[in-house]
Amino acid sequence: MIPATGFEGQRVGLLGLGRSGRATARALIAGGAIPVGWDDSVPAREAAVALEGIEIADLTKPANIEPLATLVTSPGIPHLYPSPHPAIRAAWEAGVPVDNDIGLFFRAFGSSAFAEFDRPPRVVAITGSNGKSTTSALLHHILTHAGRPAQLAGNIGRGVFDIEPPVDGEVIVLELSSYQTELARALTPDIAVFTNLSPDHLDRHAGPGGYFAAKRRLFAEGGPDRAVIGVDEDEGLYLAGQLAVGPGDDRVIRVSAARKLGGPGWLVYARKGFLTEWRKSRQIASIDLREVPGLPGAHNHQNACCAFAAARALGLGPREIEAALASYPGLPHRSQRIRERDGVAFVNDSKATNADAAAHALAAFPRIRWICGGLEKEGGLGRLEPHLGHVVKAYVIGREAEAFARQLPGVEAEICRTMEAAVERAAAEAAPGEVVLLAPAAASFDQYDNFEKRGDHFAALVAAL
Under 8 Å between Cβ of 122 and 314: yes
Establish whether 300 is an annotated binding residue.
no
380 SS3 class: coil
Catalogue the long-range contacts made by 32-38 (C-beta closer than 8 Å, 24 or more residues apart).
Answer: 32/5, 32/7, 32/8, 33/4, 33/7, 33/8, 33/9, 33/69, 34/9, 34/10, 35/11, 36/11, 36/12, 36/64, 36/68, 37/13, 38/13, 38/14, 38/64, 38/87
Establish whether 154 is an annotated binding residue.
no
Query: For residues 209 and 33, what is the distance between their CA atoms, to the nearest angstrom?
Result: 37
DSSP class per residue in 429-462: H--TT-EEEE--SSBSTTT-SSHHHHHHHHHHHH
Establish whether 133 is an annotated binding residue.
yes
Establish whether 128 is an annotated binding residue.
yes
Establish whether 134 is an annotated binding residue.
yes
Residue 378 backbone zone (phi > 0: left; psi -120 to 50: alpha; other: beta): beta
Query: For residues 347 and 331, what is the distance between their CA atoms, to the nearest angstrom?
Result: 12
The closest alpha carbon to 309, from 338, 348, 264, 270, belongs to 270
The closest alpha carbon to 216, from 234, 239, 185, 195, belongs to 239
Under 8 Å between Cβ of 401 and 417: yes
Under 8 Å between Cβ of 202 and 211: yes
Under 8 Å between Cβ of 134 and 200: no
Enumerate the known binding-site residues: 128-134
Enumerate the known binding-site residues for ATP: 128-134
